[in-house]
Every structure is written in structure tokens, then in C-alpha cells.
Structure 1
Amino acid sequence: MAENKTVPTAASVDEFLAAVEHPGRRADGFELLDLMHGATGQEAVMWGPSIVGFGSYHYRYATGREGEAAAVGFSPRKANLALYGLTYGPDAGMHLEALGKHRTGAACLYINRLADIDRTVLEAMIRSGYQHVMAELHRP
């Protein structure tokens, strides 16, 4: 079975974000770093070469594939900001309605820039997504 390529690394989160080419995306990345740290209480860790993650959990699929993943995180991509773990909470749908300009994928929330969304709603989604993932881990 293939190994998961998205694993925690010792790479510097600050150096990664400082190297983001687009100045607006770079600034949004540093703001997300502070927002996610504050909402989760977790230190940021690089997962693979391009995901900034907070907290972690162990997963196991019915196929037998298992591994570790960031509880919540983000990646400042060229086209948009990809946010992970924020759409899993039970109140995610309600928050998405109030968030502002965004789109969703299979497991991601995509926004073009933080100026397009309500940061208070985003913070609530980060907190809720993180708490939901962590609660799922500790269920008997």
C-alpha cells in the first residue's frame, strides 16, 4: 500500500508563508496562521510541502488505508486559499451560508481572499471543525 505523502515535516511555516509569491495571498496566509492558531490553540506544522496544519488525527478507511492528517489547515495556492477540515462540523452548513464568497470541494473550502468573507464566521468554522474532528477521535 502506498504511503501517505502528506505527513508532518520539520519545515518552517514562517519560511513557507514568506516565500508565497503573491503578496495578497502571502498576507492572507499569515492572517490565517494567526486565526487558526487562536481558534485551535495548536501550533502550526507543515504537512507535506504546502499545507499548514493545526492538530492531527488518525484515520482508517474500510479499505485498510490509514494514516495521520491535520485536523484543520490551509494552503495558499496560486488560484485561491484552500482550507481543510472546516466543512465537517454539524453547523458547517449554517456557517457557509453566512461566510461570504466561497466554493466547496470534496473536503475543502476555497476562498479567493480573506477580504471576501466574514472573518468572525470563518473563526467559528475553524473552531467548530477542529472541535468536531477532535471529538470524533475520542469517542468510545
Structure 2
Amino acid sequence: MYERLQSEATSLNIEVLEKRMKKRIKGLYGDDVIFINKEIETTIEKACVLAEEIGHHHTTVGDILDLTKLSNVKQEKLARNWAFRKLIPLNSLLKCFIHGCKSRFEIAENLNVTETFLEECLEHYREKYGKAVKVDKNHILYLEPLAVYETLE
């Protein structure tokens, strides 16, 4: 996944560089350059961070580092939500259940995302859709508790 996102960034004329940064900073985007913290241990977590930084390319404007400003927090959320939809579209959650994933750990592993990223994504979908959303003609994804039901249409 990380390599695929790096290729996508390149196709958008964005340079991706790994650099040692303060531990609390996982990634930064500006002027068509994404920095990923070299200290991140797994490519799965790097992919989650890179997706969000590509999301900044698509959704944010200007310097939004000061998170005491509400407008910057909103732009941060837009980029994060873009990353959620990119890495975990609703139909991919459905496919996990169809392929027998039972736990959040199994779902995260199947989707190549961190469990934290998955949990935050599920929270995003709950905010957007409520407790359930119809994914396709025959399936409803329940976000609380997490389950899939097949409809008889």
C-alpha cells in the first residue's frame, strides 16, 4: 500500500521524503513535498500517514500548523476524512466481512491499516451515516456494533 501511495503522489507531482522528525510529528505536507517521519516503524502506519498527507494536497490550503485555529482543525479533519475514504471505502469493509474477518484486528490486517486508523475511520463513518449505512443493493453495514447484514431484495 505504501509503495502504491508513493506512486500516486509521484503522479500528482508530489515528492515523498522520509526524514527524522520529532516523534509526535508523523507527516507534513507543503509545496508539493510530503515528509514522512523516518522513525515510524511499519510501512502500514507510513501508508496511513501518507494517505492523510495526500489528502492535504487535495483538500487544504495554506499553513494549517496552528491547531488552535478552528479553520485549521477543520482542514486537518478534511484531509483525514479523505484518507479514510481512500484507504477504507465502505465496500472494502463489506468485503472483509464476506471474507470472514470477525475482529477489528482482522479487518485492519486485511485492509493494511493500523487498528487506530480503522477505529478513527469507523468513527468518521458513524458521524457521517449514523449507526448503519446501505453499502449496496443487498448489504447494510452496521457501524455500531460493527456487523454486516444481507437484505432480501
TM-score (norm 1): 0.27
Relative to total residues, which structure has the larger strand share, 1 or 2? Answer: 1
Higher RCO (Cα < 8 Å, 6 or more apart) = 1
TM-score (norm 2): 0.26
Relative to total residues, which structure has the larger helix share, 1 or 2? Answer: 2
